[in-house]
Amino acid sequence: MSKPSVSARVLVVDDQPQMVDAVADALRDSERGYDVVATVSSTEALALLTREPFDALITDLRMPDLDGLELIAAARRVAPECQILVMTAFSAVDTAVESIRKGAYHYLTKPFKMAELLLFLERALGETSLLRETKALRRALGENAVAAGVPFVSAVMRETMAIVDRVADADIPVLILGETGTGKGVVARAIHGASNRAKGPFVTLNCAAMPEALLESELFGHVKGAFTGAASPRPGVFVEASSGTLFLDEIGEMAPPLQAKLLHVLESRTVRPLGGTGERAVDVRILAATHRDLRAAVERGAFRQDLLYRLEVVSLEIPPLRHRRDDIPLFVARFLEAARGRHPKSPVTEIGHDALKALIDHDWPGNVRELLHAVERAVLLGRASSATPADLPPSVVTPRAATATLFTGDVIPARDLQRKYAAWALEQLGGRKMLTCEKLGIEPKTLARWLEPSKTNDEG
């Protein structure tokens, strides 16, 4: 592991002055001689992180004004490469575990030995140094493995792919969220391609594409004679993906009994084939994807909460295409080239200006997949070198309804008006949820609640 620089800057924050002084002195007097800035104010700590570069943040959790979890979330936004260590009382261990899920590197329960703190700080800074070296090497080689297959210029996708870049080499599960057709599988492959497992296999299994009994066999394998038709043994995808990545698409469709067996494999890192008596160790990174709201599924009892915790060590939301219209011309160019390769007799060599405008203006309920089919149709049906709106699907060239509801027409429930306005605001701001929350003056959980379809609409 790479060693951190002697001049690494560390910010220490705790509302107890004695604790701040003790930690700061220990860091300054250590062999590394850290450059330490100490404060008893969490709001001041955030201001410092915003103005100045720091290599690490060491923070308490229970503080007035801005608590530790809020500080961690803010630090991840303003200083994404800053490593975070958490100090907490034993009674707040549950909150400390939550801090790890929000991006902290490690937590220590008070009282702890300073040698323990120095050890984990050095490890955290070593990982940062190694990550920077890896990124520099990729740039020097002219590689951009993460972006391969994911064309983007939009601000919302730059933010998303920055997270992809950070989690690629972290050998942890990632839960990829997003509407159907947004390209969750492409992003999963990009994560694998930029990871330390890139030379290993990338195996995909769609959990919604087969019945429960067959899915169990595909996941864990079976021995000969395990069930009717099992004429020969099968290893299963966990074994097939050994030393690589297993992508479980539509994980929200998995039946609860299989969820329990999957959880056991993730916890034990061993798999037992159907009909077998022994377990086999597996070395696999799990990426999972769904268009479902898994937290709502947990509340309904349709998805195991403990499995969700295992899968969403990091969750990554892929924005719908209507929130990233700047990316549409890039997709069109790529899909056009591919379609011309499949249909070499087509006269279409470009998507005309009017057709491209129609593609950019469309809402794309089917997202990238729908756009792919629209371009394919234009290449197949186009009769001139430049495709026109007439070559596109009728649904694309039909003017879309306005997202926001004005004070005309029928009176609608206030809940529906709130939802429509929130959706309009989100679209106007390019799908950037944090910015939308700031503009509306609400918390992220409030925005998520506003965007939920009303029960009346769901039942109607």
Q: pLDDT tens across 293-324, in order?
A: 999 999 999 999 999 999 988 899 999 999 99
Of residues 372 and 125, more confidently modeled: 372
pLDDT score at 142: 36
- Nearby residues of 307 by Cβ (< 8 Å), 6 or more positions away: 259, 260, 262, 263, 266
pTM of the full structure: 0.59
Question: How many angstroms separate the most distant Cα atoms in the chain?
Answer: 78
Are the beta carbons of 404 and 419 closer than 8 angstroms? no
Residue 410 confidence (pLDDT)? 66
pLDDT of residue 441: 75
Between 151 and 271, the higher pLDDT residue: 271
Residue 133 has pLDDT above 80, yes or no: no
Please check the confidence at residue 364 and state whether its pLDDT lies above 90: yes
Judged by phi (left if over 0) then psi (alpha if -120 to 50, else beta), residue 93 lies in alpha
Residue 426 has what pLDDT?
84
Residue with tokens 């597996």: 282
Binned at pLDDT 50, 70 and 90, residue 136 comes out as low
> Is residue 130's pLDDT more than 80?
no
What is the percentage of the chain residues whose pLDDT exceeds 90?
Answer: 43
Query: Which of 86-95, 131-140, 143-152 has the least mean pLDDT?
Result: 131-140
Whole-number pLDDT of residue 147: 46
pLDDT at 448 over 70: yes
The pLDDT value given to residue 99 = 78
Least confident window among 19-23, 86-90, 392-396: 86-90
pLDDT of residue 75: 87
Mean pLDDT is lowest, of 62-66, 275-279, 302-306, for: 275-279
* pLDDT higher at 187 or 107: 187
Q: Which three-class secondary structure string do you get for the chain? A: CCCCCCCCEEEEECCCHHHHHHHHHHHHHCCCCCEEEEECCHHHHHHHHHHCCCCEEEEECCCCCCCHHHHHHHHHHHCCCCEEEEEEEHHHHHHHHHHHHCCCCEEEEECCCHHHHHHHHHHHHHHHHHHHHHHHHHHHCCCCCCCCCCCCCCHHHHHHHHHHHHHCCCCCCEEEECCCCCCHHHHHHHHHHCCCCCCCCEEEEECCCCCHHHHHHHHHCECCCCCCCCCCCECCHHHHCCCCEEEEECHHHCCHHHHHHHHHHHHHCEECCECCCCCEECCCEEEEEECCCHHHHHHHCCCCHHHHHHHCCEEEECCCHHHCHHHHHHHHHHHHHHHHHHCCCCCCCEECHHHHHHHHHCCCCCHHHHHHHHHHHHHHHCCCCEECHHHCCHHHHCCCCCCCCCCCCCCCCHHHHHHHHHHHHHHHCCCCHHHHHHHHCCCHHHHHHHHCCCHHHHHC
Q: How confident is the model at residue 435 (pLDDT cuts 50, 70, 90)?
A: confident
User: Taking residues 62-67, what's their average pLDDT?
Assistant: 86
The lowest-confidence range among 56-60, 193-197, 409-413 is 409-413
Residues 6+ apart with CB under 8 A from 398: none
Residue 189 has a pLDDT of 92
Query: 229: alpha, beta or left, given left = phi > 0 and alpha = psi -120 to 50?
Result: left
| pLDDT confidence tier of residue 375, bands split at 50, 70 and 90 | very high
Q: Residue 431: which of 326, 291, 294 has the closest Cα?
A: 326
Dist. CA 140–CA 172, nearest whole Å: 27
Residue 404's pLDDT band, with cuts at 50, 70 and 90, is: very low
CB atoms within 10 A of CB 138: 15
Domains of the chain: 9-137 (3.40.50.2300), 155-317 (3.40.50.300), 321-397 (1.10.8.60), 414-459 (1.10.10)
- pLDDT score recorded for residue 1: 43
Work out the number of other CB atoms within 10 angstroms of the CB of residue 118: 16
Closest among 297, 31, 285 to 173, alpha carbons compared? 285
* Mean pLDDT, all residues of the chain: 84
Give residue 141's pLDDT band: very low, low, confident or very high (50, 70, 90). very low
